């Protein structure tokens, strides 16, 4: 049975809680119920980016029910729910962010029948844990509004749409919503399959890659398949380009110090018959890196310029025309070093032996990066694995998390709120 056991979750929370939180009032129990209710609703009602209408209404109503009265709307991302908690005490303004959107499953796939709660919509599922993050943030809001006399400054609870699709964090940043609220630092967490429950991982500096997307259209000369010498054999040219692009980082960059992954995700050449070599082909894919691929460093060509040259050279050799475009996606995610230095000691006290400050990096990207470009930010990974649960990767139908993650997430986010607004890991 996959059930959020509220009593168990609370017991786990308290068992791992340092002295500073031992006198936390009974609001924890109601926060656990709040998280349980939100998670069930959000998981059963997955919605795609910018269409999180049910999630918007649920979260807004829940926050109002908790006593929140100050909300900010986003014109570009209207399903966002942004609530402000003013402690009434002078102090910093910080933001805690969670995502709201779900994802489409592979065509014809549904969430496994053993999952409970389970998606009510075939083909759609919360398989990146955003329902978990949003539920934990709501639970955090419940705890903090009940204890606002113990914190300083203001806390902005940012429920952000469309992490999986364009225009979530970047809309919020471009609208200057956080600037207008005077936010000085922002924090977020993401579930990490395979990381044991109770572990929190964070490293200073670049922690997730930036993403860029390319599209290459090849225009050559078609021919009978029996006479490739009479045309450009465009499918073969496309295949060679796919290999050269994919091979490029490991063979042309100092890869140990300059990690780059280029993956061709779509390769299309259709002669529409077994004996026709088509004139045209297309390929597209992604470039992941911790650098800005459009920017040249130390008077050397940028990665984009180097790839431009590669494509042009191969096109000339193959006597084909090309249209080659590269567009930027999310920038790399960077944890602010000074903020990390300030937070790591008190967090180490709250997570004795379980705070991993040297986690492995991945070439995944995340739109939290837009905030990290705009203001000091920290992005945490939180373990979801226990008793054989929480091992399946995000973005798969099998993804799940051990229910203890809610108590751990609540502990992390409340800790960050206290550290962020008071600079200490104790209630005032």
Residues that bind Zn ion (CB under 5 A): 128
Q: Are 44 and 118 in contact (CB under 8 A)?
A: yes
Q: Of the two residues 233 and 400, which places its CB atom closer to Zn ion in the complex?
A: 400
Which residue number has the CB closest to Zn ion? Answer: 128
Please report how close the Cβ of residue 381 comes to Zn ion at its closest, in angstroms.
Answer: 11
How far is Cα 406 from Cα 103, in angstroms, rounded to an integer?
21
Handedness of CA 48, 49, 50, 53 (dihedral sign): positive
CA distance 111 to 55: 19
Provide the minimum distance between the beta carbon of 367 and Zn ion in the complex, in angstroms, as a whole number. Answer: 9
Q: In the complex with Zn ion, which residue's Cβ is closer, 128 or 307?
A: 128
In angstroms, give the least distance from the CB of 103 to Zn ion: 6
Give Cβ neighbours of residue 330 (< 8 Å, ≥ 6 apart): 169, 170, 210, 211, 365, 366, 367, 369, 370
Q: Of the two residues 126 and 411, which places its CB atom closer to Zn ion in the complex?
A: 126
8 Å CB contact between 84 and 70 = yes
Straight-line distance from the first to the last Cα atom of the chain, in angstroms, rounded to the nearest whole number: 40
CB-count burial class (<10 Å; 0-12, 13-18, 19+) for 229: exposed
In the bound complex, what is the minimum distance in angstroms from residue 295's beta carbon to Zn ion? Answer: 26
Provide, rounded to whole angstroms, the least separation between the CB of residue 190 and Zn ion: 6
Q: Which is nearer to Zn ion, 128 or 144 (CB)?
A: 128
| Cβ-based burial of 375 (10 A; exposed 0-12, middle 13-18, buried ≥19) | middle
**Helix residue ranges per DSSP H, 259-391:** 303-318, 337-350, 369-374
Residue 406 burial class via C-beta count within 10 angstroms: exposed 0-12, middle 13-18, buried 19 and up? buried
The angle formed by the CA atoms of residues 44, 165 and 97, to the nearest 5 degrees, is 70
Nearest CB to Zn ion, comparing residues 65 and 166: 166
Q: What is the dihedral of CA 216, 222, 226, 232, to 10 degrees?
A: -60
Contact 96, 416 (CB under 8 A): yes
Please, which residue, 128 or 183, has the CB nearer to Zn ion? 128
Closest distance of CB 185 from Zn ion, Å? 21
On whether the CB atoms of residues 145 and 151 are closer than 8 A, the answer is: no
Of 58 and 368, CB closest to Zn ion: 368
Shortest CB 240 distance to Zn ion, Å? 32
- Between residues 51 and 221, which has the closer beta carbon with respect to Zn ion? 51
340 or 399: whose CB is closer to Zn ion?
399
**Shortest Cβ distance from residue 123 to Zn ion (Å)?**
16
Least separation in angstroms between CB 400 and Zn ion:
14
Q: How far is the CB of 100 from Zn ion (least distance, A)?
A: 11
Classify each residue of 278-289 as buried b or exposed e, where b means 16 or more C-beta atoms within 10 Å of its C-beta: bbbbbbebbbbb
152 contact partners, CB below 8 Å, separation of at least 6: 87, 89, 90, 91, 92, 421, 422, 428
The β-bridge relationship of strands 205-208 and 223-224 is: unpaired
Closer of 131 and 404 to Zn ion (Cβ): 131
Closest of 284, 278, 292 to residue 324, by C-alpha: 284
């Amino acid at each position: 049975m996959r059930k959020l056991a509220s009593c168990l979750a609370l017991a786990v929370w308290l068992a791992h809680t340092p002295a500073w939180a031992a006198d936390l009032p009974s609001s924890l129990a109601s926060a656990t119920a709040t998280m349980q209710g939100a998670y069930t609703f959000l998981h059963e009602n997955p919605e795609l980016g910018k269409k999180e209408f049910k999630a918007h209404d649920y979260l807004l109503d829940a926050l109002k029910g908790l006593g929140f009265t100050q909300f900010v709307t986003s014109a570009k991302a209207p399903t966002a729910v942004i609530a402000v908690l003013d402690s009434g005490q002078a102090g910093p303004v910080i933001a805690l962010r969670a995502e709201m959107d779900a994802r489409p499953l592979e065509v014809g796939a549904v969430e496994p029948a053993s999952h409970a709660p389970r998606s009510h919509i075939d083909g759609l599922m919360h398989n990146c844990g955003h329902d978990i993050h949003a539920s934990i943030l709501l639970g955090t809001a419940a705890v903090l509004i009940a204890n606002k006399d113990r914190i300083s400054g203001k806390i902005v609870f940012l429920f952000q749409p469309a992490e999986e699709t364009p225009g979530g964090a970047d809309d919020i940043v471009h609208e200057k919503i956080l600037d207008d609220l005077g936010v000085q630092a922002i924090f977020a967490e993401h579930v990490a399959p395979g990381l044991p429950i109770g572990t929190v991982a964070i490293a200073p500096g670049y922690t997730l890659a930036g993403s860029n997307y390319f599209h290459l259209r090849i225009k050559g000369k078609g021919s009978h398949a029996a006479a490739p010498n009479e045309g450009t054999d465009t499918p073969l040219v496309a295949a060679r380009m796919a290999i050269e692009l994919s091979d490029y980082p490991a063979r042309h960059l100092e890869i140990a110090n300059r990690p780059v992954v280029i993956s061709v995700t779509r390769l299309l050449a259709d002669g529409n018959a077994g004996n026709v070599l088509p004139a045209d082909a297309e390929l597209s894919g992604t470039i992941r890196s911790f650098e800005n691929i459009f920017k040249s460093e130390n008077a050397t060509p940028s990665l984009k310029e180097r790839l431009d040259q590669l494509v042009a050279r191969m096109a000339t050799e193959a006597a084909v025309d090309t249209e080659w475009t590269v567009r930027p996606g999310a920038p790399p995610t960077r944890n602010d070093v000074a903020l990390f230095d300030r937070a790591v000691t008190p967090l180490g006290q709250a997570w004795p032996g379980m705070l991993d400050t040297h986690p492995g990096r991945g070439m995944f990207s995340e739109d939290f990066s837009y905030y990290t470009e705009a203001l000091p930010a920290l992005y945490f990974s939180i373990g979801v694995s226990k008793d054989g649960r929480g091992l399946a990767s995000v973005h798969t139908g099998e993804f799940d998390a051990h229910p203890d993650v809610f108590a751990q997430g609540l502990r992390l986010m409340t800790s960050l709120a206290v550290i962020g607004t008071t600079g200490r890991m104790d209630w005032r």
